[in-house]
Amino acid sequence: MAGIVDLRSDTVTKPSKGMLEAMMKAEVGDDVFREDPTINMLEEKLASMFSQEAGLFCPSGTMTNQIALQVHTRPGDEVICSELAHIYLYEGAGMAKNSGLSARLLKGNKGRISASEIEANINPPDSHFPRTRLVALEDTSNKGGGSCYQFDEVMKIKGLCLKKGLGFHLDGARVFNALTVRNQSPSEYGRLFDSISICLSKGLGAPVGSVLLGSRDFIKEAHRSRKSFGGGMRQAGVLAAAGLYALEHNVALLGEDHKKAKRLKTSLEQNDLVLEIIDPETNIVIFQLKPGMNSADFCKLLKDRGILAMPFGPDKVRMVTHLDIKEEDIQYCEKMIPGIR
């Protein structure tokens, strides 16, 4: 333990030596002209993995989501998503600001929404109502405690979208975590969606970058949209090289993060200030504190012992495991967390 165990987010990872070497060696070109060979390779690789036609490398997952929302819709349309969705809660009202959309927020279960719930919330064609245009899922769900969808339910939702003529978007910031849990191939899952956003800078450990996947026509429009969002980058192959390295080396390690999250849960169960913990399916542990303790104070108690966590509302805290949380870090947490009060 080098003094600090940083469990605030899986975005805090620093590029490893191997990753930095891959970045140094990257062949680059101007990606606004689509001439960066390393970016093209990353886009093609992810597209083919997920049974999609094309990809677009962007600076952030917020941008890939926001571009997808814009390309799927017209101003005044409505998007159906969970009330816990990142696209609604954590993207600075982007869907309203960038694309003039309204959101139909569903209660769901730990950030997951069901086909029957979606069907009950599709607006009639009557001109009073916003036009329901898109269903957006998040897998895994961040605010839902890293919960994963059942594949059967997603297939049902896909069937509904086809029947009702709705677009189907996946915020797959952590889709590789979900695939790891389901032991599922990216192609089997990816083929269900019209567009997919994938983050390289979360559990995969790259410093920057997300990729949007979709049909060739969709990505052509997305390329226009990316320019107007200011997301056209030039010799960004150095960043894409980190993504390629992550796909090759780090996807296989996600299961370790999941085991470590379960160990954190066990330690938290032994702490007297913790009321309830969402059972971690992946690398995210969200827990509620007992009345009388608030999240800011609890995080301060942790911080005094060199453990960083994130307040997630007034009485909830989030911990996230990732590549830079090593065995000795978890052992240190196991030693310290039960006794904190």
Ligand X SMILES: *Cc1c(COP(=O)(O)O)cnc(C)c1O
Q: How many residues bind ligand X (CB under 6 A)?
A: 13
Q: How far is the CB of 59 from ligand X (least distance, A)?
A: 8
Shortest Å distance, C-beta 127 to ligand X = 33
Taking CB under 6 A as the rule, which mask of x and - marks residues 193-212 in contact with ligand X?
------x-xx-------x--
x/- track of binding to ligand X for residues 11-50 (CB under 6 A): ----------------------------------------
* Residue 340 beta carbon to ligand X: minimum distance, rounded to whole angstroms: 27
Query: How far apart are the C-alpha atoms of 136 and 193, rounded to whole Å?
Result: 10
Question: Which one, 232 or 338, has the nearer CB to ligand X?
Answer: 232
Q: Is 173 an interacting residue with respect to ligand X (CB under 6 A)?
A: yes
Contact call for residue 103 and ligand X (CB under 6 A): no
In the window 53-92, what residues touch ligand X (CB under 6 A)? Answer: 60-62, 65, 86
Q: To the nearest whole angstrom, how small is the minimum distance from the Cβ of residue 143 to ligand X?
A: 8
- Least distance from C-beta 93 to ligand X, angstroms? 14
Q: How far is the CB of 10 from ligand X (least distance, A)?
A: 9
Using CB under 6 A as the criterion, what x/- string covers residues 115-154 for binding ligand X? -----------------------x---x------------
Give the chain as a 3 state SS string: CCCCEECCCCCCCCCCHHHHHHHHCCCCCCHHHCCCHHHHHHHHHHHHHCCCCEEEEECCHHHHHHHHHHHHCCCCEEEEEECCCHHHHCCCCHHHHHHCCEEEEECCECCECCHHHHHCCCCCCCCCCCEEEEEEEECCECCCCCECCCHHHHHHHHHHHHHHCCEEEEEECCHHHHHHHHCCCHHHHHCCCCEEEEECCCCCCCCCCEEEEECHHHHHHHHHHHHHCCCCCCCCHHHHHHHHHHHHHCHHHHHHHHHHHHHHHHHHHCCCCEEEECCCCCCEEEEEECCCCCHHHHHHHHHHCCEECEECCCCEEEEECCCCCCHHHHHHHHHHHHHCC
Q: Which lies closer to ligand X via its Cβ, residue 86 or residue 337?
A: 86
Q: Which is nearer to ligand X, 203 or 237 (CB)?
A: 203
Residue number with the smallest Cβ distance to ligand X: 61
Cβ 60 to ligand X, closest distance in Å? 3
Residue 254: partners with Cβ closer than 8 Å, 6 or more residues away:
176, 177, 180, 203, 282, 283
Q: Of 28 and 137, which has the nearer Cβ to ligand X?
A: 137
If the CB atoms of residues 116 and 228 are measured against ligand X, the closer one turns out to be 228
Q: Which x/- pattern over 311-330 shows residues binding ligand X (rule: CB under 6 A)? A: --------------------
Closest to 34 measured CA to CA, from 269, 169, 224: 224
Cα-to-chain-centroid distance, residue 62: 9
The least CB distance from residue 271 to ligand X, in Å, is 26
In the bound state with ligand X, the residue whose beta carbon lies nearer, of 39 and 337, is: 39
User: In the complex with ligand X, which residue's Cβ is closer, 167 or 231?
Assistant: 231
Straight-line distance from the first to the last Cα atom of the chain, in angstroms, rounded to the nearest whole number:
22
Residue labelled with tokens 């913790």: 274
Residue 227 CB, shortest distance to ligand X, in Å, is 18
Site residues for ligand X per CB under 6 A: 60-62, 65, 86, 138, 142, 171, 173, 199, 201-202, 210
